[in-house]
Amino acid sequence: MGIFLGLHFQIAMEICYSMFIAPFTTMLSFSTLLVFITFALSHLFKLQWQRNAQKPKQPSLPPGPKPWPIVGSLPEFIINKKKTSASHWIHSFMKEMNTEIACIRLGNVHVIPVTSPEISLQFLRKQDASFSSRPLTMATDVLSKGHLTTIFSPLGDQWRKMKRVMVSEMLSPERHRWLHEKRVEEADNLVRYVLNQCKNGDEGGLVDLRLVAQHYCCNVTRKLIFNKRYLGEGIADGGPGFEEEEYVHAIFALVLHLYSFCISDYLPFLRGLDLEGHEKIVEDATSVLEKYNNPIIEDRIQQWRDGKKHEPQDLLDVFVSLTDDDNGTPLLSADEIKAQVNEIMIAAVDNPSNNLEWALAEMLNKPETLQKARDELDNVVGKDRLVQESDIPQLNYIKACAREAFRLHPVAPFSPPHVSVTDTTVGDYFIPKGSHVIVSRVGLGRNPKVWNEPGEFKPERHLQDCNKGEEVVLEEPDLRLFTFGRGRRGCPGVVLGSSMITMMLGRLLQGFDWSIPINQGTIDLCPGRGVPFLAKPLLAVAKPRLPPHVYSFSAESEIQ
């Protein structure tokens, strides 16, 4: 009986445990587990939050207009481009936003304009290697025959090859000295041409200084490359004929449309539709250059192949005669030579000629600057000979006038684009790979944080270090103004460009007294709409100021 009751008690206890106690224990375990999981998750979230708080914040893009999907800011860009100009719109909204660096998305391209010397140096000095490429645009593609040249090629083997050729073979100090006499011939022809214009009136001659400057620069460059001044029969007074005028017009049509914010450069599927007419202008202007250049180049290549030429006489001969060290074959193809000649003509003409016209326009409105320049020339050179390149180191005021014209009136509102080859950070802003960085020449040169009275023409501001024995140079390593660029994409022709500018300004100021035409009170310094040049070509009256024997030029220089 006892055994029976004990068995039933055990069974009853198991039933009670399974019905009442076990579920409670399970519930208690689940609650404990839930509390543990909640505590663990909160601890993990806290650790993650602390890690995120300790991480450096991802830099943002520079400030700029809010972009639309796909097209970015192209709608506002197109509207404002038609109203004024792309550069005016960019500078206006940067001023409104009080920023020296901005980001404008055009299509899927981030365009980064910069107006500060400090930020510009971060791009072009500190991180130069990251911003050493160029964009593939419609205009540069046409002019450079598929980006075969130095300035317009993106980073790569082709650019390295052509850069090496230009720096080592074309624009080296030795080559510059070798070509000295050719530059002197054109400097003499410049004076002779203006002297002939003086004969047109009893009180001096009315001279178109834009024409003088542009054709002098073209003449120098053609003489260096082709060893000839004229493309046709030539003009007896030293001035340009029809062929030379057509050539110059083509060059400046290209200058205005290279890197001109063409819509199809940001939406490539529009290329071929030519919505703005840019493609036809660029193709027509390039055809004009090649109509004159290519026959000369092709004939010269054939002369070297046939053994009719053995020693270089000009830069074209140097191009053609370069050989590959490995197998002795020509280093450059005919297309590479043609494309590089196109590029040299553009680069050598626009900047110096624009600088001369603006410098003289400003100086005519400030006669005291003209007098200071003449006094310097008379002290350094005298009046019994013409100024020569060997005098340039001592002509600090002349170079200061040229620098001041560069500062106030650059040939283009922005530098050619520098394309980033990697994601990077500049000035606490994120700059994505493929961005187009454009340095504002206007923003640098007229920056009130850098220059006192930035809108005034004051050459003296560039003479501050002369008392310490330092020479004034046209280069600006600290990017307070933009003359020839810097870094891997800086201009390799700084020495040639500087000598052309200084000789042109020096010869014109030494050889002639200049005055504003009688019917004008002052020179109108308004630029043209959407262009960097004076709205009207600069006209001034010239009178010879040196003894007659100084103007004696040999007959052989008259038609070349």
What does the pLDDT read at residue 466?
73
Q: Is 147 in the same domain as 45?
A: no
Mind listing the pLDDT tens digit for each residue in 523-537? 999 998 878 889 999
Q: Residues at the annotated binding site for heme?
A: 491
Sign of CA dihedral 204, 210, 213, 216: negative
What does the pLDDT read at residue 4?
42
Q: What is the CATH number of the domain that holds 116?
A: 1.10.630.10
Length reported for the chain: 560
What does the pLDDT read at residue 204?
72
Q: Is 519 in the same domain as 396?
A: yes
The answer to whether residues 482 and 410 touch, using CB atoms and an 8 Å cutoff, is yes
What does the pLDDT read at residue 69?
92
What does the pLDDT read at residue 33?
52
Segments in the chain below pLDDT 70: 1-56, 201-203, 467, 553-560
Spatial distance between the Cα atoms of 539 and 327, rounded to a whole number of angstroms: 55
Q: Is 266 in the same domain as 191?
A: yes
The answer to whether residues 117 and 447 touch, using CB atoms and an 8 Å cutoff, is yes
Pairing of strands 109-114, 104-106: antiparallel
Give the domain range for residue 185.
74-551
Q: Residues at the annotated binding site?
A: 491
Spatial distance between the Cα atoms of 256 and 158, rounded to a whole number of angstroms: 26
What does the pLDDT read at residue 559?
41
The answer to whether residues 514 and 476 touch, using CB atoms and an 8 Å cutoff, is no
Q: Is 39 in the same domain as 86?
A: no
Q: Is residue 165 part of a domain?
A: yes
Indicate whether this model's pTM tops 0.85. yes
Element (H, E) at 251: helix 242-257
What does the pLDDT read at residue 51?
59
Q: Is 344 in the same domain as 471?
A: yes
Exposed/middle/buried for residue 233 (C-beta within 10 Å: 0-12, 13-18, 19+): exposed
The domain total for the chain is 2
